[in-house]
Amino acid sequence: MIDFRYHLVSIVSIFLALAVGIVLGAGPLQGEIGDTLGREVAGLREDKAQLNTQLQQSTAARDGLDAYIGETNADVLRGALQDRRVGIVVLPGSDAAVAESTGAALRSAGATVVSTTSVGDAWVSTDESTAAARDTAVTEAARAADVDVSETGAVSPRDVLLAALLAAPPQAGVEPVDAATAVQALRSLADADLVEIDTEGFQTADLVVVVSGVVTSGETEARATAAERWVDLSIALDDRSAGTVVAAETTTASAGAQVLVALRNDATATRGVSTVDNAGSALGQASVVHGLVQQAAGDVGQYGFAGGADAPYAPLPAP
């Protein structure tokens, strides 16, 4: 049994050890300890300086490489998508600069950007009143465009409708929605605050680029659910068109659910949809173009430097 004397001896021992340490530190070991700490601090400062230098050199090399790729992209991409009609679908939380540079890269490759559609948060909302209003608008637009959304299986009717309005099916014998009819239906969806679209020169697209972003509203589970619903839309667009690439500038510092990451975690999606996770760079934009070429040929790939990538960049088309 442990008694009071045991506790007393333990306490005295602790204070005695502290006293000895203080005496040694202030006496014969003072200089040695100080010298050791000084050398360690100097070493850490030198390591920090070397790391800063390496970072600056790496950043300069990356910026120089990206600038070079940007300068040569016009020649490398020229004609890669000649006579192709491409639609751009912009999701909430995406980078506006990525959407703008994507359009420029597609045009450099000879593609005609036939539509740019921004889809609002209400498209994937689980709020009952918002969902009810959305579904009513989708049903009315589908009826007006003569798009059958009565039996869509696991795909939501709204995703089937939007894909049918924006893309031309590659299958023989399947007629696309007439452009004028599609525009009217899209305007009705816009009136319901579901999408925004520039209808000037609108045509249905052969290929689609989805500029995805980060879901930041709601709790963690709600964010993940919304990201998965955006993945469903990407799959529907891929099914309806000759191919779809989802492009984004992903970052590990993001405080939300990244749609591209959710897509790469979906085995069904990655069997058909290609992704580019560094679309904010010139290299990424080249991958978007070459990824579309690959999609049109019936192939798929995941490109960039984030988790789930197959390669740093999409392969160049065969000459």
What is the percent of the chain where pLDDT is above 70? 81
Q: What pLDDT, on the 0 to 100 scale, is given for residue 21? A: 60
User: Could you tell me the end-to-end alpha-carbon distance of the chain, in angstroms, rounded to an integer?
Assistant: 88
Task: Tell me 291's DSSP state.
Answer: H
Place of tokens 């000879």: 110
pLDDT tier, 83 (very low <50, low <70, confident <90, very high otherwise): very high
The string over 195-218, giving b where at least 16 C-beta atoms fall within 10 Å of a residue's C-beta and e elsewhere, is bebeeeebbbbbbbbbbbbbbeeb
C-alpha separations of 164 from 18, 180, 194, 205 in Å: 78, 13, 16, 10
Task: Tell me if 119 sits within 8 A of 233, measured CB to CB.
Answer: yes
Count Cβ atoms within 10 A of the Cβ of residue 102 and give its class: 0-12 exposed, 13-18 middle, 19 or more buried.
buried
Count Cβ atoms within 10 A of the Cβ of residue 222 and give its class: 0-12 exposed, 13-18 middle, 19 or more buried.
middle
Q: What is the pTM of this model?
A: 0.81
Q: What pLDDT, on the 0 to 100 scale, is given for residue 239? A: 94
Q: What pLDDT, on the 0 to 100 scale, is given for residue 110? A: 96
Task: Tell me if 282 sits within 8 A of 261, measured CB to CB.
Answer: no
Q: What pLDDT, on the 0 to 100 scale, is given for residue 175? A: 82
Q: What is the pLDDT of residues 125-161, one digit of tens each?
A: 999 999 999 999 999 999 999 999 988 888 899 999 9
Q: What is the pLDDT of residues 23-73, one digit of tens each?
A: 555 555 556 666 776 777 777 777 777 777 766 665 665 555 566 465 566
Q: What pLDDT, on the 0 to 100 scale, is given for residue 7? A: 60
Q: What pLDDT, on the 0 to 100 scale, is given for residue 273? A: 98
Please say if the pLDDT value at position 262 is more than 60.
yes
Task: Tell me 124's DSSP state.
Answer: G
Q: What pLDDT, on the 0 to 100 scale, is given for residue 68? A: 47
pLDDT tier, 12 (very low <50, low <70, confident <90, very high otherwise): low
Q: What pLDDT, on the 0 to 100 scale, is given for residue 156? A: 94
How far, in Å, CA of 91 to CA of 210, rounded? 7
Please say if the pLDDT value at position 9 is more than 80.
no
Give every CB contact of residue 51 below 8 A, 6+ residues apart in sequence.
Answer: none
Q: What is the pLDDT of residues 201-252, one digit of tens each?
A: 899 999 999 999 999 888 889 999 999 999 999 999 999 999 999 999 987 6
